[in-house]
Chain A
């Protein structure tokens, strides 16, 4: 057989990959990838309207509708803001957490989901330590499922509230987004990228608005393959070089609960990647500093930076409630108003 014969038999047809059936429910938000730009614009617009609406009027939108919060991991910000968002719209919420429920007795996610549905839950907000858990819950219950963080995978409402925070500073007044809205903007995501659902949701969302994403961290927390996740994603190991290019810096927490035996020298890490006042002043004196929380002060950033003028960390928290009101509203009204589904 000659080389030409070998070439002649390529390429061979191989079985195609089936199109994803997700989301099954148009009210679900599993991934920001499931939203087209019109859908995101709609959520941003609704977030602003709902935020400014009279509380008594707002409370009629989902009056007495039932929403379950199913939390298999601890959470302060996400849980509270989803709960406040749902209640602001008038919904009844029920919190089920893994430590005070039949989950402790070994009940599966499927059975827990079906039980909540039988109890009348019309949507489920899920936080879970396993990647993909929201996909499983949605396919088994077919309810609107809002992904409040699945393992190392995605945290779409965090990406949306980060986007709202960025727009407020970089593009004030803009709520209708296009593929050029963030053209010319570079966002660095710094730290434990590998274990971060915040990083994954942001790096897939921001380039769709024209932003460039720099991932920055040591190889143990940022494998080379991360750059292939999507377009406009590059890796920069040198923190200061990344800062120099950035209009936005998203700092991440080292996730001790997911390190799985990985040995990390924290002093070395801080020397290379801690965001200090000096570094910020020297290399990114006008950049917006974000952090999804919880912050470990003195590790990924100094207290001075967290509390400093460039920090928008508490704005992010506030935006979380507004974005989650819009997302919860969409979950229970999506069938009447199908806008927003990609």
Chain B
């Protein structure tokens, strides 16, 4: 394999405590050397990437995406989804199991990682926690882990039964896997054939839409934490997916204070938007959990700044155009996010709300790597995987969803100003994304 040298960039590697100008040598898919500018021993046939003026960081890790394969390739494929990931600076994505069929087997878990899928960055399957994600019988976690699963979850659905969730936490703890819960008490969000389609609040009332109350999330988070507490000897790890309410945050905070391994992630749309952004039935503002009130959104921002939230994850949820061009109640939940997470995080978290760049990057790389126990990722220490993102932290650009790499365009961020333009994304030593237009812009 050829070697790559990234020269002259500003290396920010929060996990290794590095924040200075460095040259990096990548060889055979790993980081082979780091040295002050110009001090790397020249490798004669190494390709050189000039990163002068750019930031070099560990490749981003999105622990919550929907790549739609197997079975829903009209929305997205593993190839297009990972191309979008690379364009967004991500080198690892953890793919949720709500595919067709549900990924609850070694066979599907391996299929997703096979070279024939043409993934351009690393895909880590998250296997279903229960058979068919029906919430009744737990799967064989040891077998799923052996096939490459990095966590278990019934994402999109919630494990409602106390006994099943307890068993899932205990079984996952035995093989050191994380249980990721999509916390939604459907007894509060689906009444008869009527499904709540946005946050319960004055906006929902005004629009004549059925509301998804905050308690539907926090009640499950609190129940799950009680189960973790009961099982504490076994040291289970509960991870709350896409947290969206102040009450859930409060429960996570308390659990952590009590020494429990309870973590959570947040999606950019939940720290940026509120239920007012639904406007008049914009289906690109429909997701589950829904956009919350301003008060919840402000609490989420505060928790991000305070460090209560462990990771930023996109919940990248591609849908075909025709699926979103329908009545709001009938539209599927979810938005794409891989190509906007970095740009939005730098624009708002860093630039607007003054979170140090290293912390933003840590939420997008080192911390999710630790949550999923991805060894050798989320850092660029010598010996780590050569997963790198090189970006211009100052560059502002306008996102055009139709020009993105994802098959889907369902996003409320179309036309938004982003900050931090990705120049190269390198996955295990190979250039997975190269913004060819960048050079001409600079010259």
Query: When chains A and B are docked, how far (Å) is the Cα of A131 from the Cα of B201?
Result: 16
Contact B208 A152 (CB under 8 A): yes
Residues in B neighbouring A228, C-beta threshold 8 A: 202, 205
Contact B330 A14 (CB under 8 A): no
Contact A136 B202 (CB under 8 A): no
Residues in A neighbouring B280, C-beta threshold 8 A: 20, 22, 132, 135
Contact B281 A131 (CB under 8 A): yes
In the complex, which residues 142-162 of chain A have their Cβ closer than 8 Å to any Cβ of chain B? Answer: 150-154
In the complex, which residues 217-265 of chain A have their Cβ closer than 8 Å to any Cβ of chain B? Answer: 223, 225-226, 228-229, 258, 260-262
Query: When chains A and B are docked, how far (Å) is the Cα of A228 from the Cα of B207?
Result: 13
Residues in A neighbouring B207, C-beta threshold 8 A: 131-132, 153
Chain B contributes a number of interface residues (CB within 8 A of A) equal to: 38
Residues in A neighbouring B279, C-beta threshold 8 A: 17-18, 20
Which residue of chain A lies nearest to B353 when distances are taken between CB atoms in the complex? A12
Residues in A neighbouring B297, C-beta threshold 8 A: 14
B272 beta carbon closer than 8 Å to chain A: yes
Residues in B neighbouring A154, C-beta threshold 8 A: 208
Interface centre among A20, A110, A151, A197, by most B CB within 10 Å? A151
B161 beta carbon closer than 8 Å to chain A: no
Contact B208 A200 (CB under 8 A): yes
In the complex, which residues 327-349 of chain B have their Cβ closer than 8 Å to any Cβ of chain A? Answer: 327-330, 348
Binding-face segment, B144-152, B191-199, B225-233, B246-254: B191-199
Which residue of chain B lies nearest to A200 when distances are taken between CB atoms in the complex? B208
Query: When chains A and B are docked, how far (Å) is the Cα of A15 from the Cα of B291?
Result: 13
Residues in A neighbouring B273, C-beta threshold 8 A: 15
A17-B276, A153-B207 as given contacts; A110 in contact with B325, CB under 8 Å: yes
B206 beta carbon closer than 8 Å to chain A: yes
B219 beta carbon closer than 8 Å to chain A: no
Query: When chains A and B are docked, how far (Å) is the Cα of A152 from the Cα of B280?
Result: 14
Interface centre among A15, A22, A136, A153, by most B CB within 10 Å? A15
In the complex, which residues 183-214 of chain A have their Cβ closer than 8 Å to any Cβ of chain B? Answer: 194, 197, 200
Residues in B neighbouring A150, C-beta threshold 8 A: 208
Q: Mark A1-39, 1 if CB is under 8 A from B, else 0.
A: 000000001001111011010100000000000000000
Residues in A neighbouring B348, C-beta threshold 8 A: 15
Contact A260 B326 (CB under 8 A): no
Q: Mark A47-61, 1 if CB is under 8 A from B, else 0.
A: 000000000000000
A153-B207, A229-B206 as given contacts; A261 in contact with B325, CB under 8 Å: no
Query: When chains A and B are docked, how far (Å) is the Cα of A108 from the Cα of B327?
Result: 9
Q: Mark B144-166, 1 if CB is under 8 A from A, else 0.
A: 00000000000000000000000
A132-B328, A135-B281 as given contacts; A260 in contact with B205, CB under 8 Å: no
Q: Write the nearest CB–CB distance from B18 to chain A, whole angstroms.
A: 26
B301 beta carbon closer than 8 Å to chain A: yes
Q: Mark B349-368, 1 if CB is under 8 A from A, else 0.
A: 00011100000000000000
Residues in B neighbouring A12, C-beta threshold 8 A: 298, 301, 352-353
Residues in B neighbouring A261, C-beta threshold 8 A: 191-192, 194
User: Which of A13, A17, A133 lies in contact with B327, CB distance below 8 A?
Assistant: A133
Residues in A neighbouring B194, C-beta threshold 8 A: 258, 260-261
In the complex, which residues 114-148 of chain A have their Cβ closer than 8 Å to any Cβ of chain B? Answer: 128, 130-133, 135-136, 140
> Which residues of A are in contact with B by a Cβ distance under 8 Å?
9, 12-15, 17-18, 20, 22, 108-110, 128, 130-133, 135-136, 140, 150-154, 194, 197, 200, 223, 225-226, 228-229, 258, 260-262
